[in-house]
Amino acid sequence: MSDDLLELIIILLGFAGGAVLGFTARQAHFCTLGAIEECYYGSERSRLRTWLLAIGTAVALTQLLDLAGHIELERSFRLGPQIHWFGAILGGLLFGFGMALVGTCAFGMLVRLGGGDMRALIATLTVGITGFMTMSGVFARARLNYIDSIYIELPPGAHQSLNAILFGESPQGQFLITLAVVLATAGWALTRKRFRDNTRQVLAGLTIGLVIAYGWFVTSTLGQDTLYPHQPESYSFVRPIGSAMVWLMTASGSSATFLIGGVFGVPAGSFLAAWRNSDVIWEAFDDAREMRRHLTGAALMGTGGIMAMGCTIGQGMTGIASLSITAFLATGGIIAGSVLGIRYLIEGRLPDLASLVARLLGNR
């Protein structure tokens, strides 16, 4: 098989999975920020249950593929021997706060773009530019010196999966941790009959989780990322947006990847769902204030997403599917940052820590 044909197959496979993600998210109104907002300010939990069902499905299928030998998660950069806890938490906070300012995450912007939202186009470009500036541009040296330099080094040969930390290289331990995480996420999501009867939301959670596992499988066999050679990965939407922009400008001298295919696939799938529902609406900024808020939020997401090594999908699903300690920390940071951002937008001020904790505990 020629290199050009292999590259085409890889990008098409990434595109196909991204299209399924975009179509499903549009049809089910899947939104991580929406799930957090509903949980924080109201009693509705359906979108939270869909999100947790997707996480549980991704964890179950990804870990089963690993146990069966179809993928090797320990080769992924997400399970490296260094736990970059500071970057995960700080980057997560920045990403979450920016997500609240924009009204959705990097993945959600691509979904909105498929429905004709030009605000999402501007925000997506901003995420890609600031993300690349943080990864390898003018902010990269500061990130390396002051963010990435703070980490916990594991013993030689160890990796940072939750099961390896607790049980070592034990298939039984891996199975037990997988079961515990799946029960805590998908199991809890399915405890409510009203949610189980909502076929659209249940199918959305199962489908999104399946696509995350699909990404791990494809990149373990064909779709290698040039920045992380010979390492499996699945969908993420901060660094790949920047990579897609660079590829569009340098395609004759660079290669496309599975994740770049996913970036283009999401808005395509979203457009198909919007067109099917007669929901394609061209939208633009209402005024300069709204544009300023979107640009600021997108810049925070681009910067924070690189520091945290992922977004709500990249860490919140792909990373957690690998049981990466860093992914759990980054996801916690994203949730906390988004709550701060929501409170800032609605109440015009940032809460103190004590009232924030009391509010979260009171809603449970």
Find, among 174, 149, 144, the residue nearest to 159 by Cα. 174
State the Cα–Cα distance between residues 115 and 268, nearest whole angstrom: 9
Find, among 204, 210, 212, the residue nearest to 47 by Cα. 204
Structure tokens at 171: 């298939």
Beta bridge partners of 153: 82
State the Cα–Cα distance between residues 188 and 55, nearest whole angstrom: 12
Asked if the model's pLDDT at residue 364 lies above 50, the reply is no
Q: What is the mean pLDDT of residues 44-68?
A: 94
**Residue entry with tokens 């996480």:** 55
Asked if the model's pLDDT at residue 352 lies above 70, the reply is no
Asked if the model's pLDDT at residue 278 lies above 50, the reply is yes
Asked if the model's pLDDT at residue 358 lies above 70, the reply is no
Beta strands in 15-107, from DSSP E residues, in sequence order: 82-83
Find, among 133, 86, 58, the residue nearest to 312 by Cα. 58
Which CA distances in Å does 353 have to 35, 103, 178, 239, 336? 21, 23, 32, 31, 11
State the Cα–Cα distance between residues 322 and 167, nearest whole angstrom: 15
Query: Which residues lie below 8 Å from residue 194, measured CB to CB, with a gap of 6+?
Result: 46
Digit-coded pLDDT (tens) for 206-254? 999 999 999 999 999 875 555 545 689 999 999 999 999 999 999 887 7
Q: Considering the chain, what is the average pLDDT of its residues?
A: 91
Q: What is the mean pLDDT of residues 44-48?
A: 85
Q: What is the mean pLDDT of residues 159-175?
A: 90
pLDDT at 267: 98
State the Cα–Cα distance between residues 317 and 39, nearest whole angstrom: 19
pLDDT at 83: 95
Q: Is the pTM of this model over 0.75?
A: yes
pLDDT at 39: 82
Digit-coded pLDDT (tens) for 99-113? 999 999 999 999 999
Asked if the model's pLDDT at residue 201 lies above 70, the reply is yes
Q: What is the mean pLDDT of residues 328-337?
A: 96
Query: Which residues lie below 8 Å from residue 325, measured CB to CB, with a gap of 6+?
Result: 83, 160, 161, 162, 165
Q: What is the mean pLDDT of residues 265-272?
A: 98
Find, among 131, 119, 79, the residue nearest to 319 by Cα. 79
Q: Which of 19-23, 33-37, 199-203, 324-328 has the lowest mean pLDDT?
A: 33-37
**Residue percentage of the chain with pLDDT more than 70:** 93
Digit-coded pLDDT (tens) for 61-100? 999 999 999 998 999 999 999 999 999 999 999 999 999 9
* Cα dihedral value 29, 30, 36, 37, nearest 10: -10
Residue type, 346: I
Find, among 61, 76, 363, the residue nearest to 219 by Cα. 76
pLDDT band at 5 (very low <50, low <70, confident <90, very high): confident
pLDDT at 266: 98
Asked if the model's pLDDT at residue 154 lies above 70, the reply is yes
pLDDT at 361: 57
